Homo-oligomer: A and B are copies of this chain.
Amino acid sequence: MPDRILRAIGQQTIDHRGPDFAAVGQRALDGMKSIFRTRQNVFIFPSSGTGAWEAALVNTHSPGDRILMFETGHFAFMWGKLARRIGLNPEIIEGDWRGGADPDQIEDRLRADRAHGIRAVCVVHNETSTGSVSPISEIRKAMDAAGHPALLMVDTISGLASIDFQFDDWGVDVAVSGSQKGLMLPPGLSFNAVSDRAMETAKQASLPRSYWDWHDMAGPNKTGYFPYTPATNLLYGLNEAIDMLHEEGLDAVFDRHARNGAAARAAVRAWGLEVLCNRQGQESGVLTAVLMPEGHSADAFRAKTLELYDMSLGNGLSKVADRVFRIGHLGDFNDLMLMATLSGVEMGLANSGVPHTPGGAQAAMDILKANAA
């Protein structure tokens, strides 16, 4: 986390009903619209991202509603589980956890749903457990091609502010995000971007809700206030983060992540290892998941690397537990940090007895060198 953000968060809490708060709240709400690239609605919850998943669903559905979800990995799976827990009826398209959601399969399912019983299509933009990106704009086109009225809901918890996301231009209805990834904050804030159409849908949706209710939020938000106590200090940090993103420029931020992703994959290939995501063009600029050679424990390797180099790598989740390790390159991350990380992986592989060809870091450097910012 950047010092600049930590310092912002450390300021004294002001009264969230007092006159000075309006500017803080308004700046955060407007700023998040610029990050989501929307002119429609944005809501900020004092919760972690899981809460914003729940908010997205409870505002737009009634008990028993059918929704279509694409299981791109662990987090898509967990969102589905949550949907069932709150009384929805999710229909899951199972993926192989090695790529993004498939527009064709979605289109097929929607075409088959002639009665339009499916209320929403839910996909994960950047699947943090696998390092794959779903083609959101293509999915919207597939839905339109099928002539289906379902809402398009996108979890971009780890995608937002790291890889391109365009709420309005891509025709998203509800987006879900959180503070602790591309926004470089501690966890504790979550977001919904909401289309005007979804706001209308919310008026009919009968799932019980109060904390997560968009329409309750919308009133006080108009003047920069919230219907209940907001997480004021995190809002200070959010405003600082939004400034930092715009100072660099969102497109420059996306380029930086893309370059780092390409370099990380070059390293993996040079080591003779396999990147989990095997769909060309869907590899993530946020993180790179790497398959461990057969017979080697990813977790033993991760533990050794932590011990020797004080570097924490992401673990494989559920289906790919101990089979995969994840190299993060998100947020406030630059070329030299990537080189430090890849060097740590390469030295960790060597010191863990994992078969590999040295030279991955060097291969990554060749990519970075040729693409200096």
Which A residues between 192 and 225 are near B, CB-CB below 8 angstroms?
Answer: 207-211, 213
Residues in chain B near residue A365, CB distance under 8 A: 343, 346-347, 358, 361
**Once bound together, how far apart are the Cα atoms of A191 and B46, in whole Å?**
14
Q: Taking the full assembly, how many copies of this chain does it contain?
A: 4
Task: Check A293 for interface membership: any CB of B closer than 8 A.
Answer: no
A226 CB to closest chain B CB, in angstroms? 9
Q: How many residues of A contact B (CB 8 A)?
A: 76
**Once bound together, how far apart are the Cα atoms of A284 and B203, in whole Å?**
41
What does the 1/0 interface line of A329-372 toward B look like (CB < 8 Å)?
00000111101110110110011000000110110011011001
Q: Are B187 and A229 in contact (CB under 8 A)?
A: yes
Residue of B nearest to A178 (CB): B229
| A-B contact list, 8 entries, CB within 8 Å | A47-B47, A48-B231, A85-B210, A187-B230, A343-B361, A351-B372, A358-B366, A361-B365
Q: Which chain A residues have a beta carbon within 8 Å of chain B's beta carbons? A: 1, 3, 6-7, 9-13, 15-19, 45-51, 54, 58, 63, 82, 85-87, 178, 180, 186-188, 207-211, 213, 228-234, 306, 308-312, 315, 334-337, 339-341, 343-344, 346-347, 350-351, 358-359, 361-362, 365-366, 368-369, 372-373
